[in-house]
Amino acid sequence: MSELNIYFTDDSDLAEYEAENKGYRTDVFVKVGHNLYSVKIYTMIRLQQDFESEIESYGFYKSEPNLVLVKESTKDEIIDVVKELYEQEYFDALKPTENIKIDQLIKVY
């Protein structure tokens, strides 16, 4: 298996606090080997809120690509879930992202 690394654009206490309270985090990148993937982290509660809001407003829900569900949107939970998905070869089915400068990201795992 290839090496796994996880990055955030912001690893501050404020970013962690906001992610926990909002129930989502969209600045998560996963590097597997030479490929970099952008994943969208959501709690089930936040996903349900977004689903209901979009159904009411637009009549349908457009899912985020590379959506990953977590119990809570904390850094530790995100790392644990991404590691498990990696073991299950989840990232093999995703399209890598392009034009992201990895040196501008903060490695959290």
Q: Which of 72, 9, 18 is nearest to 42 (CA)?
A: 72
Segment 33-42, tens digit of pLDDT? 999 999 999 9
Distances from the Cα of 32 to the Cαs of 7, 42, 43, 87, 93, in angstroms?
Answer: 11, 21, 23, 11, 12
Report the share of the chain in percent with pLDDT over 70. Answer: 99
Show me where the domains of the chain are located: 4-107
Calpha distance 102→6 (Å, rounded) = 11
3-class SS at 28? strand
Q: How confident is the model at residue 1 (pLDDT cuts 50, 70, 90)?
A: low
pTM for the full model? 0.92
Q: Are 80 and 108 in contact (CB under 8 A)?
A: no
